[in-house]
Amino acid sequence: MICILTFFRTIEIKVVKQYQKIKQVKNIVSIVILALVVFSSCDHEYGYTYKVLNNSDSEVKFDLLTDWIDSTNLIDEGETSILFIVNHGFEGPDGPSFADVSMDLDSIFVTRKDTVFSIKDYLASASWEYNNGVYKVTITNTEFE
């Protein structure tokens, strides 16, 4: 009888030790998952949108060149057009943050009636309104010669 009790006691001790090891592994896995969530949430990527509103009295042609885009957009009077959306890589949690438009734009030519060029400097950040990741510029009649 003592032999049987000793046997069951030995099995009980082994089961308890296995349970403790499983519990330790669960705790370690939980800590690792929590650390991954916390540390991976520190970097953020934000989309930056470039928009054009045509407040002139005719259609305008917006020729755009960036490192990755070479496009021509025809924008009707009174129309708002999205030129492109870009991200600036990983940023801190306080973003999106203003960056000089020269970071994204290489050249811009705006023409009206295919012959009249805009005198506005679209490569200057001062020409663009910035609000929470959206760069917006308004085209008016006064900028054409």
Res 67: pLDDT: 87
Q: Walk along the chain (145 residues) and give the pLDDT tens digit of each residue.
A: 666 656 556 666 666 667 677 777 666 766 766 666 656 555 677 788 999 999 999 999 999 998 888 999 999 999 999 999 888 777 777 767 788 898 899 999 999 988 899 999 999 999 999 998 899 999 999 998 7
Give the residue numbers spanning the domain of 9.
1-41
Res 54: pLDDT: 95
- Within this chain, do residues 112 and 64 fall inside the same structural domain, yes or no? yes
Res 46: pLDDT: 79
| SS3 labels along the chain | CHHHHHHHHHHHHHHHHHHHHHHHHHHHHHHHHHHHHHHHCCCEEEEEEEEEEECCCCCEEEEEECCCCEEEEEECCCCEEEEEEEEEEEECCCCCCCCCHHHCCCEEEEEECCCEEECCCCCCHHHCEEECCEEEEEECHHHEC
- Within this chain, do residues 59 and 18 fall inside the same structural domain, yes or no? no
- Within this chain, do residues 62 and 131 fall inside the same structural domain, yes or no? yes
Q: How many CA atoms lie within 13 A of 97 on its CB side?
A: 12
- Within this chain, do residues 52 and 34 fall inside the same structural domain, yes or no? no
Q: Provide the whole-model pTM.
A: 0.68
Q: How many domains does the chain have?
A: 2
- Within this chain, do residues 15 and 54 fall inside the same structural domain, yes or no? no
**What CATH number did the domain enclosing 61 receive?**
2.60.40
Res 50: pLDDT: 93
- Within this chain, do residues 79 and 127 fall inside the same structural domain, yes or no? yes
- Within this chain, do residues 62 and 89 fall inside the same structural domain, yes or no? yes
